[in-house]
Amino acid sequence: MDKTIYTREYAVVLRLLREARKEAGLTQTELAKKLKQSQSFVTKVERGDRRLDIIQLRTMCQTFGLTLAEFVARLERALRSPK
């Protein structure tokens, strides 16, 4: 199995995270503060340098006003659409 960080699917996850943050009206710094993390943590996540576990992803989604299920539904729709 290839490392998932180099796949199209993972690039879509990162894009959707950035979009969700922006839709929530949050800067990276504001998100970091809400998560009680550093701004560099958010930057590394959005660049794909740091992987999130499922609990961290859920917490981020909640901060955006999304459920994990809603985020996954967005991901599935994006993966079904043509490149």
Domains of the chain (ranges; CATH) run 4-77 (1.10.260.40)
The mean pLDDT value of the chain amounts to 93
Closest CA to 48 of 81, 16, 80: 16
HSE toward the beta carbon, residue 10, CA cutoff 13 A: 14
Task: Measure the CA angle with vertex 43, ends 42 and 46; round to 5°.
Answer: 85
The overall pTM is greater than 0.95: no
What tens digit of pLDDT does each residue of 8-17 get?
A: 899 999 999 9
